[in-house]
Amino acid sequence: MLRLVAAAAGLAIGVFGGDWFEAPAPLGIDTHNGTPEQPFATINQRSTANHAPPAADVPYRNASLPVVRRVEDLLARMTWSEKVSQLTGWWKYDEAFPTMSEPVREESFRRWFPEGVAQIGPSQLSVEDDVAFRNAVQKFLREQTRLGIPVIFHDEGCHGVMKPQATSFPMPIGLACSWNEGLTERIYDTVAREMRLRGGHQALTPILDVARDPRWGRIEETMGEDPVLVARLGAAMVRGFQGGPTGVIDEHHVLSTLKHFAGHGTPEGGLNRSPSIMGSRELRDVHLAPFKYVIEHARPAAVMPSYNDVDGVPSHANRWLMRDVLRGEYNFRGLLVSDYGGIERMHLKQLICETPLEAGRLALAAGVDCELSDAYAFPAIRELTNPDPELVGWVDAAVRRMLTAKFQLGLFENPYADAAAARAILDKPETSELAVQAARESIVLLKNDGNALPLDLAKLKRIAVIGPNADIARFGGYSGTPLHSVSLLDGIRAYVGPRAEVVHAEGCRIVTVDYRDSSQNWRAEGPVILVSDDENRLLIDTAVSVAAQADVVVLALGDLERTCRETWGEASLHLGDRASLDLPGSQMALARAVIATGKPVIVYLMNGRPAALEELSLLAPAILEGWYAGQATGTAAAEILFGRISPSGKLTVSFPRDVGHIPAYYSRKTGAAYHDYLFSNNSALYSFGHGLSYTTFEYRDLKLATATIRAGEQVRASVEVVNTGKMAADEIVQLYLRDEVASVTRPVMELRDFRRIPLQPGESRTVEFTLAPEALLFTGIDLQPVLEPGKFQIMVGGSTQKLLHTTLTVTP
């Protein structure tokens, strides 16, 4: 393991995300090599023409020296141009790379990054080509640049490494429905190991956006609408990526990047990158809270600012947000890397500056350390011949943080990846089983009238699996391509075997162009055109005929990666946000026709956002929300459909009845919760925390260790949970709190803790929670954290709709 060595005198050194990076010098002063009157740029010229490569035995090449000394030695040798090069990214892959000769390859590298580069983005190459490319880059940087500084390769790891031949786990919106921190940590430990063996060093994950608008196409990448759940699962992801909560990262793990800081999950109109309209109190209590928690409890190595602006200030230029809050209040000392094109956006889209140089300066002033994906603004900084002392101070602080990360990762000693080791980790049995378990726990039973599920295979002779998502495992956005995957149809056939006949009909096509490849669908640009009912008529009629001859129908509906995804690019060529939550295309026409046969119909949803299901809920007796469940989709779904295991997932985002019911999140203010709409009530169709089981649970005897505490004290709550049914199953016990009277309006309830527990039939377990004083805090009238004495409702149960209540009194 790469251990931190002793700190040099006068510099605060710790680990990633805490005190690991040295505190920057006062702005405008370089305390190591210059003064305000003699800035660095006049000491180290911008050009490298007159600077010979340093000797092999210089301090920064000595692995036995403290990291801080190596950083300072290297920084003192760098020209202005070399420094700024260490703050820029690169992402211009030449698809011909695998066939390039070594001289041609080196000439390309010399053209792309002659003085080095901070970070390089992900490629879509096979394991062998990926490792070969990365090793060739590191060899060039090590041997052909003056200082030999290696590069950090970053990758996307939303639910697996976003590359060919990588394990695919459920999308976070589905995985979060497991409410399982241990499982989440194991998954992202696996992702980190696959990433590091391919030469990756930093994951641009997790997303801590609190998502409260399902029109937004990126909701699938989030963990839902509640800040406490997002925080807890986000910390588990970071522990997985980094190998634990200490911030020390060994050779098997990678830097984890929290994103998007901040307010990105509620864009105006549900349109990606739009402004976030919220007050300071909501910003702090809802959207900043997960970042604060994860920084304190998991010590992430990096943070990425968001595209949006809050109150008119883009995050990439928000000095209050990143310097005062993130680095000041939260004591974050890690890397701040821009989102792709985030600095460019301030110039070209948000129009807060007139030149790339101004955009770069605004970002550096706010604390951004690295411009990704490619350098747009920072090259203008690099071209300055006499930068002012303030700018020099910002650049030096940023370079220190970047170099420190590279030293601590061990890249100066060994930057190379091993293709054989990267291949060997692929498709291991324990990894495949982990993918199955993740899929099992992500599936949510939304409705089960008349115990339509589980299906009794002994009573079935013919099973029809129908729908556009029946014979394909869709993975969602930011997906790699696993070595194998199991569709719903394949999973059912494998489970049923010869015991019943399984027949299939497509039912309808959703869009005119479906590549049937998640990665290609997600990346594809151009118009997305829905297939009309008339065009689908023959497929629907065929499906009806198949359904009519079956004993039961499993109807696979939902989305695909072209109807729910991140919106980006120019001229609306890559859209993913929607003004409707209806199942896209002809899917409801198919559902009505199949259900009209009178056959039992089980709806299985494969999607990335909550759908408007009110009509379907009236028609179908049972609905399973399967989300994008990864490579093991069909295996896990079949086990649940036929009752091998009970569904255990609970929703982490509320399902509105219709798009007009947004917002539908559960923790709304008391003043927003008691009026209905004309012709419709305002409740969610399926609320946060909802999820049915094949067994039944009874909650008993909710009590507090003491009913009255003084402000600043903690209190223990306990409840008895009994499995009163006939099947073993997991239950997710949820604890909510409500402040009965406060100086500012407060939500009707807020999640404060949870436990996932297994229970055998008849088994009883007492579940205990400890409510720390922080659980009662909120941002008060003066925008400071406050715990106000008074009465609090403590509520515990299996969903937000069915809870036991007791009262806690807090005295001064």
Tell me which residues are annotated as active site.
339
Q: Which residue has the tokens 């009909």?
A: 505
Residue 269: CB atoms within 10 A of its CB come to 13
Phi-psi category of residue 519: left, alpha or beta, with phi > 0 → left and psi -120 to 50 → alpha: alpha
Helix 488-496 and helix 633-641, axial crossing angle in degrees, nearest 10? 50
- In terms of DSSP bridges, do strands 89-90 and 119-120 run parallel, antiparallel, or are they unpaired? parallel
CA distance 573 to 571: 5
Question: CA separation (Å) from 502 to 238, 446, 465, 475, 604?
Answer: 42, 25, 7, 24, 16
Phi, psi of 790 (to 5 degrees): 150, -165
CA distance 722 to 700: 8
- What 3-state class would DSSP assign to 449? helix
Residue 397: CB atoms within 10 A of its CB come to 20
What sections of 565-713 are H helices per DSSP? 587-595, 614-619, 633-641
Q: Which residue has the tokens 């100086």?
A: 743
Strand partners, 120: 90, 153
DSSP state, residue 176: G
DSSP state, residue 481: B
CA distance 309 to 324: 17
DSSP state, residue 268: G
Under a CB-based contact definition with an 8 Å cutoff, are residues 300 and 238 in contact? yes
Q: In whole angstroms, how large is the CA radius of gyration of the chain?
A: 27
What sections of 559-677 are H helices per DSSP? 587-595, 614-619, 633-641
Q: Which residue has the tokens 């015991």?
A: 499
Q: Which two three-digit tokens encode residue 476?
A: 């969602």
Residue 588: CB atoms within 10 A of its CB come to 18
The DSSP element (H or E) to which 462 belongs, if any, is strand 462-466
Q: Which of 457, 461, 554 is nearest to 505 (CA)?
A: 554
Please tell me the number of Cα atoms within 13 Å of 536 on its side-chain side: 26
63, amino acid identity: A
Under a CB-based contact definition with an 8 Å cutoff, are residues 751 and 734 in contact? yes
CA distance 382 to 753: 49
Q: Where are the beta strands (DSSP E) in 124-269?
A: 152-155, 202-203, 255-261
Q: Which of 334, 404, 335 is nearest to 67 (CA)?
A: 404
CA distance 782 to 614: 42
Please tell me the number of Cα atoms within 13 Å of 357 on its side-chain side: 7
Under a CB-based contact definition with an 8 Å cutoff, are residues 569 and 577 in contact? no
Buried b (16+ CB within 10 A) or exposed e, 593-611: bbbebebbbbbbbbbbbbb
Angle at 476 between CA 470 and CA 482, to 5 degrees: 80
Q: What is the DSSP string of 711-763?
A: TT--EEEEEEEEE-SSS-EEEEEEEEEEESS-SS--BS-EEEEEEEEEE-TT-
- What 3-state class would DSSP assign to 122? coil
Under a CB-based contact definition with an 8 Å cutoff, are residues 255 and 291 in contact? no
